[in-house]
Structure 1
């Protein structure tokens, strides 16, 4: 079953985010807490949304996403931050169903795009995404400012 995330799912979702960080070979970079995720999803001004895949009452997959905006199209889109299905449930169509739920969100809201990142080494996921019609945007370079560089930029004259 694919459904919108509910407050009762937060702890399970945090656990899956940590599993994803381990899969992506960066567990030391994951610091998410249940309180943080709960506030982001269900706080006064939610900026994060989510869907879960549930099998036999257990959350076994997540899609966490937020809205972006295309100035060229003049409308919002969906940016998928995390998509993860537990290894024992892969191959059962849950990843595709989670992406279908986000595509439906886009169509229903007249959003013009659904996008996400995938690590270059993650060939199984890249193949899966391409099979759904996703196109690599490899002419773009992702840029990021964090930590000390972020602080320095914020305080620059």
Structure 2
């Protein structure tokens, strides 16, 4: 068995990558028994979002086996935007080989080039492995000065959370 880390092609996605990103995101939700609007709807949405200035994705592998999807928003507290890592997914059979860390590194570098002030990531309380992954890559779930924990609050305004919208 070779213990050398694999070399993966890591790159920023284009709108033409929307179908593959949609497949990965659909697989992500399916793996974790979460509603998904399906690949066709996701593809349509991603084509639009990736063509604009407030969403980008980083892909790993050829064909892509991992993705980080990021949205940017302006804020009053800094000159640069805040980035939200909306989704990060690596195909189960590819986990543990370093591709997730490489995708995350390239995503952070892209945020730095864009003048992003901070990156936010939401993680489920029960997902200790994911929390350890992000902590190992320099992220924290608390204020570095006080140690006070950060929390995420959520309220859906759509009856079905938008997951089953076929027209969007």
TM-score by length of structure 2 reads 0.76
User: Which residues in structure 2 correspond to 1:7-156 (within 5 Å)?
Assistant: 7-26=15-34, 29-32=35-38, 33=41, 34-42=43-51, 45-54=52-61, 57-137=62-142, 138-148=149-159
| Conservation of the 8 A alpha-carbon contact between 1:76 and 1:112 | yes
Maintained 8 Å contact 1:53/1:94: yes
Q: Is the 8 A contact 2:15 2:48 kept in 1?
A: no
Please give the per-residue CA displacement for 1:64-108, whole angstroms capped at 9, x wherever unaligned. 111123322232122111100111111121111111112112222
Deviation of 1:4 after TM superposition, in Å, equals 1.0
Task: Report the Cα distance in structure 2 between the residues aligned to 1:14 and 1:116, rounded to whole angstroms.
Answer: 20
How far apart are the structure 2 equivalents of 1:91 and 1:141? 27
106 and 10 in structure 1: CA distance in 2 versus 1, 3 angstrom threshold: closer
**Does the 8 A contact of 2:67 with 2:90 survive in 1?**
yes
Query: Is this contact kept in 1: 2:79–2:117, CA < 8 A?
Result: no
Higher helix residue share: 1
Name the one with the larger strand percent.
1
Distance 2:53 2:25 in 1: 19
Number of matched pairs:
144
Unaligned runs of 5+ in 1: 151-157
RMSD value, Cα: 2.2
CA contact 2:59–2:66 (8 Å) conserved in 1: yes
Q: Per-residue deviation at 1:46?
A: 4.8
User: Where in structure 1 do 4 or more consecutive aligned residues deviate above 6 Å?
Assistant: none
